[in-house]
């Protein structure tokens, strides 16, 4: 196996391990008061942290002892599609930045629209016409609105809304 591939695989293992450690550090600050069935709010973060650390260590061991086994040849393009990556990344970051300002529904709709631009760009089918933007926005709204209403109205889980009515 080429040294560059071994280095890349080692970095993947180290990165996964580091994310697990970061989750564990964050889980330390979550109170552990037992709730329903004796499970506290820190249970799931600890499960994720331990799983990430175990899998990170496993990936690291795999990389250092011969490389990832049974790995298929990569599919897709020879090089990364940076414009598509940027579209999707901007969508995710915009969602995170705007969710408390414009509400869950509109920020998720925007995220959907920008992610669709990225995926279509990667396929070579990027359509920048106003009609395409409107169709994608309508689909994004049609997905995010019922999710918002289900969480806020049926499950009584607070998500950021645009109004205080609980419906938008």
The closest alpha carbon to 147, from 92, 94, 104, belongs to: 104
The closest alpha carbon to 126, from 138, 113, 139, belongs to: 113
How is the chain split into domains, by residue range?
A: 3-64, 82-154
What is the Cα–Cα distance from 133 to 109, expressed in whole angstroms? 11
Q: Which residues contact 159 (CB under 8 A, 6 or more apart)?
A: 104, 148, 151, 152
Q: Is 70 helix (H, G, I), strand (E, B) or coil?
A: coil
Position 165 scores a pLDDT of 54
Position 38 scores a pLDDT of 65
- pLDDT under 70 in the chain at which residues? 1-2, 34-39, 74, 76, 162-168
Which pTM value belongs to this model? 0.60
- Where helices occur in 29-166 by DSSP H, the ranges are 43-64, 82-122, 130-149
């Amino acid at each position: 196996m080429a040294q560059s591939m071994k280095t890349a695989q080692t970095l993947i293992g180290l990165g996964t391990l580091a994310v697990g450690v970061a989750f564990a550090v964050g889980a330390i600050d979550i109170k552990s008061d037992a709730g329903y069935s004796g499970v506290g709010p820190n249970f799931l973060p600890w499960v994720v942290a331990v799983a990430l650390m175990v899998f990170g260590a496993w990936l690291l061991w795999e990389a250092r002892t011969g490389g990832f086994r049974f790995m298929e040849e990569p599919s897709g393009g020879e090089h990364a599609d940076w414009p598509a990556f940027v579209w999707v990344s901007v969508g995710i970051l915009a969602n995170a930045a705007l969710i408390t300002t414009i509400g869950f529904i509109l920020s998720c709709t925007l995220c959907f629209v920008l992610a669709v631009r990225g995926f279509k760009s990667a396929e070579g089918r990027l359509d920048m016409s106003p009609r395409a933007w409107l169709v994608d926005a309508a689909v994004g709204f049609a997905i995010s609105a019922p999710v918002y209403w289900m969480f806020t109205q049926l499950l009584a889980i607070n998500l950021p809304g645009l109004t205080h009515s609980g419906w938008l």
